[in-house]
């Protein structure tokens, strides 16, 4: 595969089934939960990075990071306090890929009145599950 676009096209046409996705999501949540807990149960740049690597390893066998390395790009992870209209954003400029997640949206997703949210048809009863689904 020549570039990231062809890699993504490959995985779109060879998608996992729902059972694999559910199993993978549970494993990823379990893997990143210690980071989430040590960060005061907030979304952090470190959590974004670890989630990306776990998703890449579990569903893509590490091929996304390998392709990024092969083409000489760098990937950055951040939690952006100014990102208020979307929960996350992916950008690419000058050999730098960036995954940003919204601090205000995730900080305010659950509260005393909101105990569950639905993301893409999946009911989430925890911030960590909502975060992994968004990634």
Tens of pLDDT, residues 99-113: 999 999 998 888 778
Per-residue pLDDT band at 54 (split at 50, 70, 90): very high
Q: At what angle do helices 63-70 and 4-13 cross, to 10 degrees?
A: 160
For 17-30, write each residue's pLDDT tens digit. 777 778 889 999 99
pTM: 0.83
Domain of 27 in residue numbering reads as: 4-134
Closest CA relative to residue 57, chosen from 79, 94, 31, 83: 31
Q: How many domains does the chain have?
A: 1
For 72-89, write each residue's pLDDT tens digit. 999 999 999 999 999 999
What is the three-class DSSP state of 123? strand
């Amino acid at each position: 595969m020549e570039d990231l676009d062809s890699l993504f096209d490959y995985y779109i046409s060879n998608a996992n089934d729902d059972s694999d996705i559910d199993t993978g999501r549970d494993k990823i949540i379990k893997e990143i939960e210690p980071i989430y807990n040590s960060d005061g149960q907030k979304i952090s740049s470190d959590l974004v990075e670890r989630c990306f690597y776990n998703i890449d390893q579990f569903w893509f066998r590490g091929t996304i990071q390998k392709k990024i390395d092969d083409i000489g790009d760098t990937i950055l992870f951040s939690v952006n306090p100014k990102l208020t209209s979307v929960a996350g954003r992916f950008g690419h400029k000058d050999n730098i890929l960036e995954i940003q997640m919204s601090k205000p949206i995730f900080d305010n997703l659950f509260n005393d009145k909101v105990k569950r949210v639905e993301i893409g048809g999946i009911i989430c009863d925890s911030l960590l599950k909502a975060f992994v689904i968004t990634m």
